Every structure is written in structure tokens, then in C-alpha cells.
Amino acid sequence: MTSNLSIAERIVRSILDRKLRPGERLGEKELADVFGVSRTLVREALMQLQARGFVEVRSRMGWYVVEPSFEEACETYAARRVIEPGLLRDAGRPLQSAIKLLRQHVAEECEAIAKSNAGTRSVLLAEFHVCLAECLGNRFLTAMMLDLSARTTLVSALYQSQTEAQYSNDDHAAIVDAMEDGDMKKAEQLMRDHIDTLAARLDETLAHTGRMRDRLQAALGPPAGGALAHG
């Protein structure tokens, strides 16, 4: 049976997978139809997500995926800067099976970048951090990293260029190298540097540019189902 918790987690996963984007409307009826549940159950799930900061309700308009402010974007990276290096600092040397899994993930990132598969690339780069927490075996921090990675995905969609993926892939590979060598102090510093680099790439003007483009597309783009009609 689908529960409000499973609905909430599937919505978070869709955000992480970039299937739901900032500002996207979440209709209660449509979600109820998708999940095959009552609108009451959907509403309970959306209220949970509102408490976690993923959705908001707009007066007389309904539920929407949040559009984090620039200040919230900076705070997201500040939180990650505390949690992720600390996760590495407190972990022992990981098992070879964990290193193998992380290396496979980094290789998949690299392949998606080489094939210019922007959607898969972005998802894999975000999921590396969840995969890392899972490999280090802390269930509570894994759940926290899932939320932080999903929030970072929303932040990235608004305030970051998507053209520097190779740098992130290189950073991930270097972190895994340090872990395999058993140098967790180096891995911790590399993670801190990685997060600082991502935070430095935040650009508040990108969100305004994207919103203007979306408004122009809605106002001037071709109608659904065909090209512009000729008079």
C-alpha cells in the first residue's frame, strides 16, 4: 500500500533525478491519480515535504516545488561543508567493496560527460554524495544527504552553469583515490575544497535569466502540438 511517506520519498527522488524542477506545480488531483491514492494522502505527503523545505503552497494556486532563494542556496552549501567532510573524518578506512562501488559510480559520471548526456550527468554527479554516505554505512546521514543533494539539485538548476561537470568528476575521483589510500584526512580536505568550489560558482543572475527565458517561451513559443501558425 502506498503511504504518504513513500509518496514524499518518490517526489524527493524525482527532484534529485531532475524530473521535477524549481517552480513546478504539483496538483493534488494529478498526484492522486499517478499514485492511485486519495487526495488526503497526497496532501499529507505534500505537508511533510513542506516541512522539509521541498514544496510550498501558494495562496489560491496550489502546491509547487520550491525555488530556493540565493541566500538559501548559499546556506545549502554551508550545511554540506559541515556534514560531508565530517562524515569522512569520522569514518574508518572503507571496505574495498565500497571503493569498487564508488569507482564504478565515478566511471559512469565520466561516461555520461563524454557522451554529452546532460540529464544523466547531472543526476550522477548529485548522487555521488548519497552513494558515498551509503558506502560509509551511516543510515541517518545517508537520509540527510539525500535531502541535501535534492536541495542542491534545485539550487544548481537556478544558480549554476551546467558546463563544468568534468571538474566535479575529477574531484570525485580524487576523493575516492584518497579513500582507497586510507588517507581520510586528505579525502576530508578534498571534499571541503570541492564544496567550496561549487559554492563559489553560484551566480544569482542565472536564475533571473532562466525565468525570463521561460516567460518568453510561454508567451512567444509555438503552441503545444505544432509550429506557429502563418496568417
**What's the CATH code of the domain at 135?**
1.20.120.530
Residue 191, in any domain of the structure: yes
Residues 53 and 88 in one domain: no
pLDDT: is 60 or 208 the higher one?
60
Question: Domain for residue 209, yes or no?
Answer: no
Q: Is the pLDDT of residue 228 over 50?
A: no
pLDDT in tens, 8-46: 999 999 999 899 999 999 999 999 999 999 999 999 999
Instruction: Give the model's confidence band at 117: pLDDT under 50 very low, under 70 low, under 90 confident, else very high.
Output: confident
Q: What is the pLDDT of residues 123-164, one digit of tens each?
A: 999 999 999 999 998 888 899 999 999 999 999 999 988 778
Task: Specify whether 10 is located in the same domain as 60.
Answer: yes
Is the pLDDT at 102 greater than 60? The verdict is yes
Q: Domain for residue 214, yes or no?
A: no
Helix 96-114 vs helix 118-135: crossing angle, to nearest 10: 170
Tell me the C-alpha distance between 94 and 99, whole Å: 7
Cα 74 from Cα 227, distance rounded (Å):
41
13 part of a folded domain: yes
- The H-assigned helical ranges of the chain are 4-16, 28-35, 39-51, 70-89, 96-114, 118-135, 139-159, 165-180, 184-200, 204-220
Do 153 and 192 lie in one domain? The reply is: yes
Give me the CATH number covering residue 53.
1.10.10.10
136 and 76 share a domain? yes
- Identify the pLDDT of residue 163: 74
Boundary residue ending a domain (67, 94, 118): 67
77: Cα separation from own chain's centroid: 12
Domain check: are 148 and 163 in the same one? yes
CA distances from 226 to 128, 162, 218, 219, 230 (A): 39, 29, 14, 15, 12
pTM passes above 0.85: no
* Amino acid sitting at position 134: E
What is the number of other CB atoms lying within 10 angstroms of the CB of residue 93? 13
Per-residue model confidence (pLDDT) at position 147: 93
Q: Is there a domain that residue 226 lies in?
A: no
For 191, the domain range is: 70-204
Q: Give a yes or no: residue 22 inside a domain.
A: yes
78/109 same-domain check:
yes
User: CA 152, CA 70: separation in Å to the nearest integer?
Assistant: 12
Q: How confident is the model at residue 1 (pLDDT cuts 50, 70, 90)?
A: low
Report yes or no on 227 lying in a domain: no
* Same domain for 41 and 144: no
Residue 216 pLDDT class (50, 70, 90 cuts): very low
Q: Are residues 74 and 171 in the same domain?
A: yes
Residue 185: inside a domain? yes
Q: Which residue in 129, 31, 136 sits closest to 80, CA to CA?
A: 129
Query: Which residue is it, cell 554551508?
Result: 78
Q: CB of 79 within 8 A of CB of 145?
A: no
Of 17, 41, 67, the last residue of a domain is: 67
The residue out of 19, 40, 67 marking a domain boundary is: 67
Looking at the fold, whether 85 and 181 belong to one and the same domain comes out as: yes
State how many domains the chain has.
Answer: 2
Condensed to tens digits (0 to 9), the pLDDT of residues 182-198 reads 999 999 999 999 999 99
Reported as a single tens digit per residue, the pLDDT across 54-91 is 999 998 899 999 999 999 999 999 999 999 999 999 88
Do 148 and 180 fall into the same domain? yes
